Structures are given as structure tokens and as C-alpha cells.
């Protein structure tokens, strides 16, 4: 429900400002704004599940390094509660 509301709002906003920027000759801004609005709408569509997030990208990039550091230091990140 919230997703639909936001998609509608961003679509309307994106369309309005894209047209406005295009009319003022700011083509680059218009294209980027259109792209950002489309990406936002794609993220919020209910059926879409596996889009990359900052979390997933960072995990993909840095998990091997993180595992190596943890193994090298031989630490456990579990909190020891007796």
C-alpha cells in the first residue's frame, strides 16, 4: 500500500520535473532524474525481489576480506553470555 502510494508520487514528480527540466534545456538533469525515478519505482514494485542493495553489494565485495580478517585474528563475534 505504502509502496503504491510512493510509486505514484515519484512517478508524478519525476514526470513533472523531467518535462520542466527538458523545457529549460537542462537535458542531463532531466535524463538523470528520469532514471532515478524509474529505479525508485522498480525497487518499490511488489513483485520485484532481487534488486541489488548497498548491503548486498558491500557483502559481495567485502565478505571474503571480512572472513579473512576474522580468521586471521581468530576472533569470535558471538557475544559470550554464560
CA atoms within 13 A on the CB side of 79: 1
Q: Is 73 in the site for other proteins (CB under 8 A)?
A: yes
Reference 11, options 45, 61, 47, 59; nearest CA is 45
Q: How far is the CB of 65 from other proteins (least distance, A)?
A: 5
At 78, give phi and psi (nearest 5°). Answer: -80, 140
Q: Which residues bind other proteins (CB under 8 A)?
A: 2-3, 6, 9-10, 13-14, 17, 20-21, 24, 26, 28-29, 32-33, 36-37, 39-40, 43-44, 51, 53-59, 61-63, 65-67, 69-70, 73-75, 77, 79-82
Amino acid at each position: 500500500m505504502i509502496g503504491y502510494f510512493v510509486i505514484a508520487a515519484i512517478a508524478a514528480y519525476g514526470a513533472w520535473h523531467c518535462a520542466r527540466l527538458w523545457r529549460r534545456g537542462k537535458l542531463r538533469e532531466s535524463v538523470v532524474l528520469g532514471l532515478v525515478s524509474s529505479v525508485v519505482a522498480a525497487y518499490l514494485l511488489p513483485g520485484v525481489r532481487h534488486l541489488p542493495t548497498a548491503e548486498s553489494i558491500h557483502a559481495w565485495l567485502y565478505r571474503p576480506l571480512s572472513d579473512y580478517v576474522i580468521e586471521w585474528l581468530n576472533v569470535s563475534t558471538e557475544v559470550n553470555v554464560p
